[in-house]
Amino acid sequence: MTDCLDSWAILRWLEGVEPAASRVEVALASGPVMSWINLGEVAYIVERLAGALRSRQVVTQLRHQLTLDLPTETRVLEAARIKAVHPMAYADAFAVATAIAHDCTLLTGDPEILNGDPTWPTLDLRS
């Protein structure tokens, strides 16, 4: 496992937005890691846009394609430290903390993450 996905990546995949969608599709074939926090973010956004049934369908599908990381106390505190130092959403801090903990590359197009610490292992899916 070398990839980690955040909600930005999954949402662009669901929308079919290129070049992100194709790269996420390739990553999904190898069971990338994703924080449950970020999957929860996908679930609420999909529910707002397409309803509860569609949200449940997406979560069910992704549970079979992802290696889901249930945040530990250590991960929660690491995400809190990242959030304290960098202007980003708390869920984004979980994506970064999860990628670091699993020694993965975080696939994202989220500017808050990409403009963060340059040592974070990220890949910009916007280009």
Per-residue pLDDT band for 2 (boundaries 50, 70, 90) equals confident
Tell me: pLDDT of 1 over 90.
Answer: no
> What is the rounded distance in angstroms from the CA atom of residue 28 to the CA atom of residue 66?
7
Q: Does domain 3-124 have CATH number 3.40.50.1010?
A: yes
Averaged pLDDT score across all residues of the chain:
97
Which tokens go with 63? 């549970």
Q: How far apart are CA 90 and CA 29, in angstroms?
A: 27
Residue 84: the pLDDT is 97
Cα-Cα-Cα-Cα torsion 29, 34, 40, 41, nearest 10 degrees, comes to -90
**From the CB of residue 33, how many other CB atoms can be counted at a distance below 10 Å?**
22
Per-residue pLDDT tens over the stretch 23-82: 999 999 999 999 999 999 999 999 999 999 999 999 999 999 999 999 999 999 999 999
Is the pTM higher than 0.85?
yes
At which residue do the structure tokens 């292992």 appear? Answer: 121
